[in-house]
Every structure is written in C-alpha cells, then in structure tokens.
Amino acid sequence: MGLKEIRERLAAAETKAGRAPGSVILIAVSKVQPIERVEAVLETGHRIFGENRVQEAAGKWPALMERYPGVELHLIGPLQSNKTRQAVDLFDAIHSVDRIKLAHRLADHAQERGACPDLFIQVNTGEEPQKAGVLPGEADAFVAECRALDLPVRGLMCIPPVDEPPTPHFALLAQIAARNGLTGLSMGMSDDFEEAIALGATHVRVGSAIFGARAYG
C-alpha cells in the first residue's frame, strides 16, 4: 500500500460520503516504524503524524522536527499523569483524555505554558474492561467537566473492539459527539478508515497501511 494509495482511498471515501475534499485529516501513525520509513513519508511532504507513547515520540521527533519544519504531532495512546507536562510541550493534539485527574494536570500545564494541545476525549465504546476511555454513559458529564476547566475539547476518539464490526462504534461515537456539540471525530484505522469517514470521522489514524507492518504484534 503506502501513502499515495491511502490518500486516493481517503479522497474517494470523502466524495462518497459527500464530504468536502481535504476535510478529513490523515494522521500517519509512525509508532515503532524504522526511521527510514518515517523519513520517506516526510519527504513526500506529509506533516501530520501520530505516536502512541510519549517516551518514544520524545526520543525521535524533536530531531525530525528540526529537519522537517511544520510537523504536527498527535498523541493517540495512553497518557500517564506524570508525563503530562512533556506531552503538552511535544504534541499538537492529544486524543486520549479519559480521566479527571489527567484533565486537571492538562489544565495546569496548559496554563503555565499559555497554550494547550487540541484535546479529544477517548470513549470506550465497547465497554471493554482492559481498554482506556470513559464509558459511553459517563461521556456527557466528562465533556462538561473538561469544559469547566477551560480545556480545548475538539472532539471524541474511539478504538472499537478488535473482534466486532466497527461501524456501530463509530456511529455511537458520532452520536455522543453530536449531542455534546463536538465536531471532531478521531476514528478509523488501516482496516476501517473508509467506514469511519462514511460515519463522520474528521481524523483517521492510519499506521500499517501507510508504513507497512510494524515489527511487533
């Protein structure tokens, strides 16, 4: 596959869904990928990337950002409270806000810094015990709590259960966003980004279909 094909499929999905061309943001998920593959995608001019670990991102992106100006970095994986400051400094968007303690830390660091990354609240749409995210029934209250802290909540994010069709989860996320007046929907990965776009995704997070398989399971 690769970036070019994914761009074409994304554009086709936008058209099919009646969405404006270029309205869906493609986050190239570069976690664990060899640096040569990341550089190859940067060389094409792509600048929006996703990482799921703060530590890994902090190790590789500052140097790449010096060489390739204009990079926009999204944190799409879990954020430990003790890494919040580092995350606020490094990332332009955080897609994994899922508990009040983290929201408070983000608000504190954003205030110190005078700026806050765009935030997405992760919703555990499948109500899976091992998975991060607020439960669907708690989402409205959590959105309100984040807004009360003046946090820039742009939207919601979900990772559907691996063993279920994703579309009901995308539809549920869109419904929760709509009733909370949120326009951002971070949903859809390599195997299902077209379905996510059909259901309103504004940000798709595509890794292996762009870069190739990751070296771990």
Q: Which residues bind ligand PLP (CB under 6 A)?
A: 29, 31, 52, 76-77, 159, 189-190, 205-209
Query: DSSP strand E in the chain: where?
Result: 25-29, 48-51, 72-75, 93-97, 118-122, 153-157, 184-186, 203-206
Judged by beta carbon, residue 160 or residue 200, the one nearer ligand PLP is: 160
CA dist., res. 197 & res. 102, Å (int)? 29
CA dist., res. 151 & res. 180, Å (int)? 15
Orientation angle between helical segments 100-113 and 139-148, nearest 10 degrees: 20
Judged by beta carbon, residue 5 or residue 150, the one nearer ligand PLP is: 5
Judged by beta carbon, residue 147 or residue 190, the one nearer ligand PLP is: 190
Residue 71 burial by Cβ neighbours in a 10 Å radius (0-12, 13-18, 19+): middle
Smallest distance, ligand PLP to C-beta of residue 10, A: 13
Judged by beta carbon, residue 55 or residue 111, the one nearer ligand PLP is: 55
Smallest distance, ligand PLP to C-beta of residue 214, A: 7
Residue number with the shortest CB distance to ligand PLP? 207
Smallest distance, ligand PLP to C-beta of residue 126, A: 14
Smallest distance, ligand PLP to C-beta of residue 68, A: 21
